[in-house]
Structure formats: structure tokens, C-alpha cells
Amino acid sequence: MDYGLLYVVCRNRKESSKIAAQLLSKRIIACANIVPSIDSVFRWKGKIRRQKESLLLCKIRKKDFSKAAKEIEACHSYSIPCIALLDIDGLNNAYGGWLASEIGKKK
């Protein structure tokens, strides 16, 4: 498959929404889903931290990952944001066609 799911952890819903809008306006992603509140537990500077964050999930062409990562890093509030690309192993035909029309093959 040519598509993936971009996984980005953000400070809050507002930041997730801002990043999604920027990526959409540049046609880097086809759509975004925002999970407004997640509970994160992580080690930072030697201490275990707990924090409320927001999760941004975006449908993207795999080849556009580097472009998306640069855009996100330029406007993200974290010095080391989590930006990961997950493989999509299958899509239903109708949805796959819609993705292609938004960011995939040029007509």
C-alpha cells in the first residue's frame, strides 16, 4: 500500500487542530482525526511524567512522511515531538479511491 497513518502526539486539542489544518491546506494529508485527550506516561529528563495530551491521526502517502514531519516540527510546541508513520495494510475500495483523489495519483 502507498498510504500510512501519521501518529502525532500534541500538547492539546488546539495544537492538534492547528497542525491538521496546516497539513490539509498543503494537501500533505487527506484527513485527520483528533483524539482530544489521552493520558501519557513517559520518562523525561530522568523522571517519570504523567500528562494529558492530544492525539492526531492523519491519512498520508508514505512518500510524504518527511515533508509532513518537517511541517510538524516547524510548528509543534515540543522540542522532541512524537511523529510516527504506521503502515496501512488494507483499505476498502471506496475509501482508498477517496484517498487517491485527495492526495494520491494525479488525474
Condensed to tens digits (0 to 9), the pLDDT of residues 10-32 reads 999 999 999 999 999 999 999 99
Question: Looking at the predicted structure, is the pLDDT value of residue 104 above 90?
Answer: no
Which pLDDT does position 96 carry in this prediction?
86
Question: How does residue 5 score in pLDDT terms, banded at 50, 70 and 90?
Answer: very high
The rounded percent of the chain whose pLDDT value lies above 90 is: 80
Q: Across residues 70-91, what is the average pLDDT?
A: 95
Give the count of domains, the chain.
1
Q: Please report the sign of the dihedral spanned by the C-alpha atoms of residue 9, residue 13, residue 16, residue 19.
A: negative
Mean pLDDT, the chain, integer: 93
pTM above 0.75, yes or no: yes
Boundaries of domain holding 17: 3-103
* All cell numbers assigned to 94: 471506496
Dist. CA 107–CA 97, nearest whole Å = 12
DSSP code of residue 64 = G
User: What is the band of 107 on the pLDDT scale with cuts at 50, 70, 90?
Assistant: very low
- Contacts for 71-75: CB closer than 8 Å, 24+ residues apart: 71/19, 71/22, 71/23, 71/26, 71/28, 72/8, 72/19, 72/23, 75/18, 75/19, 75/22
> CATH code at 49?
3.30.70.120
